[in-house]
Amino acid sequence: MRKASSVHRRALKGILEYWSIGVFLLCYLSPSVVFASEKQVSLSDAIRTALENNHEVLAFKNSLSAQKEDIGVARSFLLPKITFEERYMRTNSPTYSFMAKLNQERFAQSDFAITSLNNPKPINDFQTSLSFEQPLFVRKANIGLDISKNEFSAKGEEFIRKKEEIAFRVVHTYLMVHTAKEYVKIAEKAVEDAKEHLRIAELRYRAGLGLYSDTLRASTSVTDAEQKFVSAQKNLNVAKRALGMLLGMSESVDSNNENPEFTTMGIDYYTNASLSRKDIKSLELRHQNAKNSIKIAESGYLPSIGIGGTYQLNDHKKPFGSEGDSWQLMAFLRWELFDGTKREYERSKAKYKAAETEEYINGLKKAVAFKVYEAYLGAEEARKNIELSKAALKTAEEGKRLVKIRYENALSPIVDLMDAQVSLDHARANLVAKENEYRLAVVNLSYESGTILKDLKIE
């Protein structure tokens, strides 16, 4: 019997040595120590950094700048066009030969000879011209300029909405880091508790009051707690790297020790604000453009009016020569009287497109109102769940304390203590999760109503 007891002691000693080595490795080689130099930021600083350096924001900013250039493109149709041209022609065409000599101011009496008129010798003509054309009334170009301005404004509203989206994602990831750190603390506490259970089981076994199987169960519980600790560390490091990526960085970024708190306003605050959400404003501007498209189609019935002119040099020997010079000034009216009913179909199409956009606006407004309502109820639910989770944690702590006392006095098996510990670990983790869910629910409510930047004091 003593021999068996000695074997058990040696086995237990080996388990304890293995466990001690594992704890040493976790403490001194864990990723939290390896990445101790990681940058720590506050939530507001993280959002501001993301709004400046996030690649999606930067890409959208370039897209917005490109959209702004369309205003200049549209305006160019209302500005004068100046053209410089150098042209060379060699011909024996009677008409062109006659005209070329006149333009070159080389026409002589001999050129009236019938033979010269009917069969002229080949002639060279270098034509240098500077022309301009200025539109005075082009209805389509004026409307096009309005459309480009509205489209730029709509893109600007979308850009603000994109920044709200990035801010929401940063908050979500920041809270992931914060929650992961809390999970690591819970895992560390679970390891400490498991170690304490193993110590008690060992003392009871040595005193002859407990079973060797209890020490094995406690040792297994320690190993399981260490595994959960390793997983919690991994999740924390992944969350840090994800936060860094959102901030436009390649390295990991840690949250500071500040515990972010969020408060909710009344439902009317969010409902009224949602009517001015940036994506709604953007769609309303595009609806206005859809109406402008009807005007563009109708402008096809109107003429375009403008003026123009040309100054021309002609020479038969060299480019840019000036043997002869001439100029022209003109005014023009262009009126397309019939285009095969193209304008009628374009106008009808534009009206359908405007009606389509209007329906999208109505649908979006209702969807936003629903999302705000749903998010508000979600925030209220999450707030109440925190209180319930706190009550559950108190119950679990008291239950574990009582079971531990009973086990120390040989009134309960170790299985009851392990079950109580599992329940306590779950209650701790559940409270952290519910607190995180509440913060996310409040931020989601701000995002759905379009007030996230204002509520986070970023604007």
Give the pLDDT of residue 36: 46
Which residues touch 392 (CB under 8 Å, ≥6 apart)? 427, 430, 431
Q: What does CATH list as the number for 40-78+138-300+338-455?
A: 1.20.1600.10
Half-sphere exposure of 151 (CA within 13 A, CB side): 22
Q: Could you tell me if 81 and 133 are in contact, meaning their C-beta atoms sit under 8 angstroms apart?
A: yes
Give pLDDT tens digits for 81-90.
Answer: 999 999 999 9
Residue 260 pLDDT more than 50? yes
Give the pLDDT of residue 291: 94
Residue 30 pLDDT more than 70? no
Q: What is the mean pLDDT of the chain?
A: 85
Give pLDDT tens digits for 201-220.
Answer: 888 788 777 788 878 888 88
Q: Could you tell me if 275 and 365 are in contact, meaning their C-beta atoms sit under 8 angstroms apart?
A: yes
Q: Could you tell me if 144 and 152 are in contact, meaning their C-beta atoms sit under 8 angstroms apart?
A: no
Give the pLDDT of residue 315: 92
Round to whole Å and give the CA distance between 19 and 27: 12
Percent of the chain with pLDDT over 90: 50
* 3 state SS of 288: helix
Give the pLDDT of residue 37: 60
Give the pLDDT of residue 49: 92
Give the pLDDT of residue 309: 96
H helices, E strands: number in the chain:
13, 6
Q: Could you tell me if 91 and 124 are in contact, meaning their C-beta atoms sit under 8 angstroms apart?
A: no
> What is the mean predicted confidence (pLDDT) over 29-52?
72
Give pLDDT tens digits for 368-412.
Answer: 999 999 999 999 999 999 899 889 989 988 888 888 888 778 777
Round to whole Å and give the CA distance between 203 and 210: 8
Percent of the chain with pLDDT over 70: 92
Which residues touch 11 (CB under 8 Å, ≥6 apart)? none
pLDDT band at 24 (very low <50, low <70, confident <90, very high): very low
Round to whole Å and give the CA distance between 250 and 81: 49
> What is the mean predicted confidence (pLDDT) over 173-179?
88
Greatest CA separation found in the chain?
145
Half-sphere exposure of 48 (CA within 13 A, CB side): 9
Give the pLDDT of residue 196: 80
Q: Considering only CA atoms, which of 172, 41, 165 is closest in space to residue 437?
A: 172
Give pLDDT tens digits for 219-238.
Answer: 888 888 889 889 989 999 99
Q: What is the pTM of this model?
A: 0.79
Give the pLDDT of residue 48: 92
Round to whole Å and give the CA distance between 284 and 290: 10
> Of how many residues is the chain composed?
459
pLDDT band at 345 (very low <50, low <70, confident <90, very high): very high
Give the pLDDT of residue 312: 95
Domain ranges of the chain: 40-78+138-300+338-455, 82-136+303-335
Q: Identify which of 111-125, 172-186, 295-309 has the greatest average pLDDT.
A: 295-309
Residue 17 pLDDT more than 50? no
Between these two residues, 339 and 130, which has the higher pLDDT value?
130
Which residues touch 129 (CB under 8 Å, ≥6 apart)? 83, 84, 85, 87, 310, 311, 312, 313
Q: Read out DSSP for 122-154?
A: PEEEEEEEEEEEEEEE-HHHHHHHHHHHHHHHH
Residue 68 pLDDT more than 70? yes
Give the pLDDT of residue 361: 95
Residue 444 pLDDT more than 90? yes
Residue 19 pLDDT more than 80? no
Give the pLDDT of residue 81: 95
Asked which of 162-171, 314-323, 391-400, 402-411 is least confident by mean pLDDT, the reply is 402-411
Residue 262 pLDDT more than 90? no
pLDDT band at 32 (very low <50, low <70, confident <90, very high): very low
pLDDT band at 415 (very low <50, low <70, confident <90, very high): confident
Give the pLDDT of residue 21: 39
Give the pLDDT of residue 85: 95
Give the pLDDT of residue 191: 87
Long-range CB contact pairs, 177-180, < 8 A, 24+ = 177/236, 177/239, 177/240, 177/243, 177/254, 177/255, 178/255, 178/259, 178/260, 178/436, 179/432, 179/433, 179/436, 180/232, 180/235, 180/236, 180/239
